[in-house]
Structure 1
């Protein structure tokens, strides 16, 4: 299904390309000057003895001019003709276009001539520099050096003369071209703002009707004159069988061609295999445009064979195939943008709206076709402004209606997508602006045409409608690129989010910009001027840098990086594994080779492309100060990364601790190091912390490491017995090293326990957690077997003045919970105190809070009644 859609998109793109490009070509063809302009003379080769220039009638291209040394008298003649034409305000645009073409050829040749003797000039400058600096005033130098310097300087001046003359002429040609372009733009603007009589004025209609009638009668009179001659009758009779066959053939192709092809496509899809059916569908679907167009061509050829058409009729027959092609391409594009089936729908519209979209596309194609035929018949007549306005107004009105309805359909698309996705994306905003612009132009163009600004209305409505067709073409091409990429990668879901289709689509948009400019009235010379500017580039120091230089630089730099990556792969996979280097050293060496390779690739590419960066030394020095302050942390991390790769205090796979983070080093880059902690999270640590901070590397040079397990036992335990048990447990560990042997240390008398430590060295410190867990299990098991108690934190609290507190609590009612405290049994219950005794009781209440697990009388001095805190030595 994806391949089917991709092929369909390709077919639509081909058809839409004809639909969009052909009107532009027609517009450019109509803009061609009627008269021929004398082409630039080819300047002859400049010899030591000047030779005469070739005749001005012999054209010369820019390549021919560049291939020879310039004839400056011929150039002066061309420049003077251009200046004379510019001084005359009535010079036709056709003459200016011809002169501009000559100046463009000369400018290209002069640009090449500026580099005349460049290699020799460079050598001479180096020779002069080798002689040393010029002596200051009042100082002298050796006569031999002075003579040599003078000879070299004189030779340098003579060699620089052609380049200087070429640069001066180049500036003159460039200025004249800019002036001609400005004049042509002003003439174009004046033509667009020309005010015709209003086409809505009934007084202008008879003249327009007479013009149309005159064109029709002229065509009819030509046919009648042909019919009246015997030679035409003889031609018709001789060609009658062929004419009949071509007419029948054209009727079949035009009337039944598309339905027959659609039926064949359906039958092939049912009978053939999927791959064969798709290929046949592609070929036959292209035939849905080609076949009807061939029918129109057969019809035009059949009518031409009759011999009954004169000059106007021949123009009409020549334009007929082109008009048919425009119509069929418009119909095809409408079907692709507004398809009949919902599954192939690029826009979310109702069936009624899609049917209207197909009709509007066909209607616009019919308008273009009729305009093409009208131009072939009537544009060569001397029509008045009123006639032109009235004749052009219906086409403007129909195209405006198409724009308004298409714009509303686009807005309906946005409403449907907003309801489905509940969001307005950047693409939807662009589509909304396009739809709103189409509606505005559709309403504004007929108003301007009704006022009388018919050229301005035509310059708005037809380019706008054609631009919508171009946007539809881009939409179809982008969908085709995505589907074709999905077929190639066999991943339809991933293709929609892949980078390659997006980049190709962006390239299509850039490629469509010149075509869009031509649609909106830009001259081809304007586009060529932009390209010339880009190709010429700009001057940086003593070097001219152009996009060609950058392209050459990019290609060489890409080749250098590719070679570096291949060499890195060979080191990593073939060479370094056969050495005695560890993995960290291998990674450091591979990374270093990569950095050195990138540096040399850039250096070689810059030198090979001829980019002289010496002029940027001062600017770079000034910028480096600000960049140093702004990027000092990044530069510090970069330098630290290089230090890590060279000194290798930390390598990939090491278990380190830095800044309170423990984990395994996974990768070291020039800016940061990635550490994977034991809970499988990645921590990015700047390289500066690893170089300037304190780092603990547990596994850098060996895997052995000490493990300390603290143990606490209750007071009263046999310490010698505890030491012996812990020693046995430590020595029983298989990862413990016996030389030096494990050690059990009685560390201190703690607040709650007797503190011991098991200290042992493991063969692999990576297993310290598992060894610690196993030791704790064995300690719990052995202590339980030996009756050794492991204490827990507790405190025994005694109260001072316990007797007074007991007396006060006896006065509390039984409902207050005396049974829970255990103090009510010391005496009989007292009556509830009255209001008078309440303050006294509050005064006798002890200041501190009551402790839990209070035992009256425990730890109390019977003579003083004070309670002293006694440590719990029982462990309970």
Structure 2
């Protein structure tokens, strides 16, 4: 079995789960309900809320009008603290008593939760009003100063009276705040109690076997039950139809829905052809396939989904359908939306007839087989869900419900097995995605086996629940996976010049491909995080949670909860990160616009342009950081404490980093070096390529990139060849023989220098007779060139021209040589002659001795 490494979950798992939003809507409407359970009586003791209007703990002067203070405070808060806290306490006492009753139904638990939500909203409203008044009250007390200690002269009567009133008001506000916190904790406890009851009810229903699943009496009466159920259904529809006052209106709704179907079908046919058009070479890239897939799915699903939803909405609005008939029409419309939406999705994703537009790499036979099986699975799921609901609507006998639930669970399991056994291919079987794919296959096989075992063992609620979760939860995960694929395609389009996003960023924002690749990574991660966060509620709905539960958790997650006295707000932190990212991106876009539209047309040099760009970037980052910190809820005035702690850290371990940072700012402000300058610092010589926050990048003549700390350019000696201009002096040393005329040598050198087109005439070339050397007269030719980059070429050209000119003029260039002088040359001649005569005398005798020693040779 083979599958492409691009698919993170594997095509088979995607195809198993590919039942998108229609099925999600169906599952939301068919979330398992709890029917009864006894509440637990062992509840922890929660302290009762304090009396907001009670007498505070402070000692109150008899002259203080407590009733007037209480009345004024109630008017400011817009409620009666005593009455409101008493009402809260009564509500919570009643709810605690009700939750101890046995056999609580799902609707009752929802009603209790809504009541708790209402009380919590009132508590939150009061909690938002009290802190500001508490702070103002404390500030007024601070202005009065501390009360006189014992033994000191008493304070004036008016000040003492004001202090007593403020203390009493402070006590009221503190009591109200304590009451709100205590009541809120009590509500949390009641929420947990409701959730415990729900979970126990849910588990008891799922794990309860159905008696008589295989009994003869259950199945023998089915032929009688089916006509009865159909008769009740027909009576339900006929009763509504006979009572319709205006049947022409229903005909008009049907005609409008038919016209809408024809118009959307034609628009979808034209739109799909337009989106699937590719004029480039080869197959369309992945980003093109992913970006067009969303539009193709919408165009293919709309011709059926939109008219069906339109017809149902018009009937429900205009005809005022009875509750049971309204539920029947809703389920029918839902089934149609499910089937055609799934068909549009799988035919677009697998593209059995258009291999070039296939998002998941499977073979043509495998794509066709998977499309058929998945559409059949959607049809079976939608139809069985509708039939199961009809048995409830017409109050059919329980045997008929069993006759629907048992075969439907086994049929769903069989279709999933057929999908699992569909052969697919993979280009890299050892890829990490294949290991994940095998794990997913194992999980799916386990669920299928559990469905079959539970159905055959009589646990039909559990079998139906597992089948529903396999289809619905799997479809949500498949949709999430497809959205992640779309995000990957969008990220690729950002880096591609031929895509709309990439072309716009290149032309408008002037971002090169490398910058766009850097931008694509955080953008794709942010979009993937958003997809995952938004998909979690739909998965939670399938496991028994309700929208109020999910909303409350997300509200706590994104709008803050408390750990002790410390508020934690992940939403604000995430939003601040987004604000910083947007601010940083805006600063980079402004940098590009400023460079292209302002600095370059103004003729500003490259070094100055770079300094301005860098400075604007630092300012933009600072503004983005301050905006992010402020958006996160931090008080900017408290940054002084952070700055103090930061200064201590600088003193101990960050002084070098800060030194380099400040030095970088000095370099940008004073500009002793600029990008493109040729500098010598720290034993390194090269061109300045980049001045960053901490260091400066230098490219040497060997094409090596050296990072030098910015502090070295401020504290050490720096040679900058191009600080003021690019003119450079070139010195060429040359030696001539002593026999040469020095004036002739100077004329020849000046002639050679003046004949070179790269040598400047102002300043003029100069010849310097530097010294009388051991074996030569040493001259130095000084010339000036207009740009330092020509140094090597001009030095080489001048040296070769000097060599040719000296050869033509007969000027000798000496090389290093050593002369040896012998004082008694005649004595040396006599010794050589005596040695030669001695050798001639010894030659005949030596020859005879050598012949005598030669051995005889036998004949």
Q: TM-score, normalised by structure 1?
A: 0.68
Aligned counterpart in structure 1 of residue 183 of structure 2, from 158, 161, 169: 169
The secondary structure found in structure 1 opposite 2:719 is strand
Does residue 289 of the first structure (1) align with residue 304 of the second (2)? yes
The secondary structure found in structure 1 opposite 2:697 is strand
Consecutive unaligned residues of structure 2, counting only runs of 5 or more, are 1-14, 38-51, 54-66, 72-76, 280-292, 503-515, 821-831, 833-841, 854-859
Map 1:734-745 onto structure 2 (within 5 A).
735-736=759-760, 742-745=766-769
Does residue 424 of the first structure (1) align with residue 438 of the second (2)? no
Map 1:627-666 onto structure 2 (within 5 A).
633-666=656-689
8 Å CA contact retained: 1:675, 1:684 = yes
Does residue 119 of the first structure (1) align with residue 129 of the second (2)? no
How far the C-alpha of 1:698 sits from its partner, in A, is 1.0
Residue 379 of structure 1 aligns with which residue?
A: 392
**Separation of aligned partners in 2, 1:519 and 1:186:** 16
How far the C-alpha of 1:396 sits from its partner, in A, is 1.7
Map 1:183-262 onto structure 2 (within 5 A).
183-197=197-211, 199=213, 202=214, 204=215, 206-210=217-221, 212-213=222-223, 215-220=225-230, 222=232, 235=242
Cα-to-partner distance string for 1:348-371 (whole Å, 9 max, x where unaligned) = 223332232122212222322232
Does residue 726 of the first structure (1) align with residue 726 of the second (2)? no
Cα-to-partner distance string for 1:843-874 (whole Å, 9 max, x where unaligned) = xxxxxxxxxxxxxxxxxxxxxxxxxxxxxxxx
Cα-to-partner distance string for 1:367-394 (whole Å, 9 max, x where unaligned) = 2223223322333688999986665232
Map 1:170-569 onto structure 2 (within 5 A).
170-197=184-211, 199=213, 202=214, 204=215, 206-210=217-221, 212-213=222-223, 215-220=225-230, 222=232, 235=242, 265=269, 285-290=300-305, 293=308, 319-341=331-353, 342-379=355-392, 391-409=404-422, 412-413=423-424, 415-418=425-428, 424=431, 426=433, 429-477=435-483, 491-492=498-499, 503-504=526-527, 506-538=529-561, 544=567, 546=569, 549-550=572-573
**Separation of aligned partners in 1, 2:604 and 2:806:** 49
How far the C-alpha of 1:531 sits from its partner, in A, is 1.4
Change in 2 beyond 3 A, CA 1:221/1:563? closer
**Separation of aligned partners in 2, 1:128 and 1:435:** 69
Residue 23 of structure 1 aligns with which residue?
A: 26
Change in 2 beyond 3 A, CA 1:559/1:337? closer
How far the C-alpha of 1:722 sits from its partner, in A, is 4.0
**Separation of aligned partners in 1, 2:147 and 2:253:** 89
**Separation of aligned partners in 2, 1:543 and 1:344:** 52
**Separation of aligned partners in 2, 1:205 and 1:101:** 46
The secondary structure found in structure 2 opposite 1:758 is strand
Does residue 75 of the first structure (1) align with residue 88 of the second (2)? yes
Aligned counterpart in structure 2 of residue 100 of structure 1, from 95, 101, 113: 113
What is the number of equivalent residue pairs in this alignment? 743
The secondary structure found in structure 2 opposite 1:361 is helix
8 Å CA contact retained: 2:271, 2:296 = no
Change in 2 beyond 3 A, CA 1:181/1:768? same
8 Å CA contact retained: 2:381, 2:412 = no
8 Å CA contact retained: 2:236, 2:325 = no
How far the C-alpha of 1:650 sits from its partner, in A, is 1.4
How far the C-alpha of 1:79 sits from its partner, in A, is 0.9
Change in 2 beyond 3 A, CA 1:235/1:650? closer
Residue 170 of structure 2 aligns with which residue?
A: 156
Change in 2 beyond 3 A, CA 1:618/1:442? farther
**Separation of aligned partners in 1, 2:579 and 2:273:** 49
**Separation of aligned partners in 1, 2:403 and 2:230:** 23
The secondary structure found in structure 2 opposite 1:114 is helix
Consecutive unaligned residues of structure 1, counting only runs of 5 or more, are 1-11, 36-44, 52-65, 798-805, 807-825, 838-876
8 Å CA contact retained: 1:407, 1:436 = no
8 Å CA contact retained: 1:197, 1:386 = no
Aligned counterpart in structure 1 of residue 713 of structure 2, from 690, 701, 712: 690
Cα-to-partner distance string for 1:140-172 (whole Å, 9 max, x where unaligned) = 896587776555444433444433332222222
8 Å CA contact retained: 1:726, 1:744 = no
**Separation of aligned partners in 2, 1:117 and 1:310:** 49
How far the C-alpha of 1:781 sits from its partner, in A, is 1.6
Aligned counterpart in structure 1 of residue 800 of structure 2, from 752, 774, 777: 777
8 Å CA contact retained: 2:254, 2:311 = no
Residue 825 of structure 2 aligns with which residue?
A: none
8 Å CA contact retained: 1:198, 1:451 = no
**Separation of aligned partners in 2, 1:487 and 1:600:** 30
The secondary structure found in structure 2 opposite 1:416 is coil
**Separation of aligned partners in 1, 2:780 and 2:244:** 124
How far the C-alpha of 1:196 sits from its partner, in A, is 4.1
How far the C-alpha of 1:404 sits from its partner, in A, is 2.8
Cα-to-partner distance string for 1:827-854 (whole Å, 9 max, x where unaligned) = 99x99x99xx9xxxxxxxxxxxxxxxxx
How far the C-alpha of 1:648 sits from its partner, in A, is 2.6
**Separation of aligned partners in 2, 1:563 and 1:294:** 42
Residue 674 of structure 1 aligns with which residue?
A: 697
**Separation of aligned partners in 1, 2:347 and 2:392:** 32
8 Å CA contact retained: 2:264, 2:302 = no
How far the C-alpha of 1:689 sits from its partner, in A, is 3.4
**Separation of aligned partners in 2, 1:561 and 1:170:** 40
**Separation of aligned partners in 1, 2:455 and 2:646:** 57
Change in 2 beyond 3 A, CA 1:312/1:348? same
8 Å CA contact retained: 1:406, 1:438 = no
- When structure 1 is superposed on structure 2, of 182-191 and 484-493 the one drifting more is 484-493
Change in 2 beyond 3 A, CA 1:289/1:182? same
Change in 2 beyond 3 A, CA 1:226/1:761? closer
Pairwise CA RMSD:
5.9
**Separation of aligned partners in 1, 2:111 and 2:244:** 46
The secondary structure found in structure 1 opposite 2:128 is coil
Map 1:864-875 onto structure 2 (within 5 A).
none
**Separation of aligned partners in 2, 1:218 and 1:633:** 89
- When structure 1 is superposed on structure 2, of 101-110 and 387-396 the one drifting more is 387-396
The secondary structure found in structure 1 opposite 2:23 is helix
Cα-to-partner distance string for 1:195-251 (whole Å, 9 max, x where unaligned) = 44585xx4x3532554x5564243255479899xxx9899599999999x999999x
Cα-to-partner distance string for 1:499-530 (whole Å, 9 max, x where unaligned) = 56675455334322222222344332331121
Change in 2 beyond 3 A, CA 1:247/1:178? closer
**Separation of aligned partners in 2, 1:355 and 1:536:** 47
**Separation of aligned partners in 2, 1:266 and 1:658:** 67
8 Å CA contact retained: 2:69, 2:169 = no
Structure of greater relative contact order (alpha carbons < 8 Å, 6+ residues apart): 2
8 Å CA contact retained: 1:743, 1:759 = yes
Change in 2 beyond 3 A, CA 1:327/1:742? same
**Separation of aligned partners in 2, 1:100 and 1:785:** 110
8 Å CA contact retained: 2:412, 2:467 = yes
Change in 2 beyond 3 A, CA 1:267/1:325? closer
8 Å CA contact retained: 2:572, 2:631 = no
Q: TM-score, normalised by structure 2?
A: 0.69
8 Å CA contact retained: 1:403, 1:441 = no
How far the C-alpha of 1:74 sits from its partner, in A, is 2.6
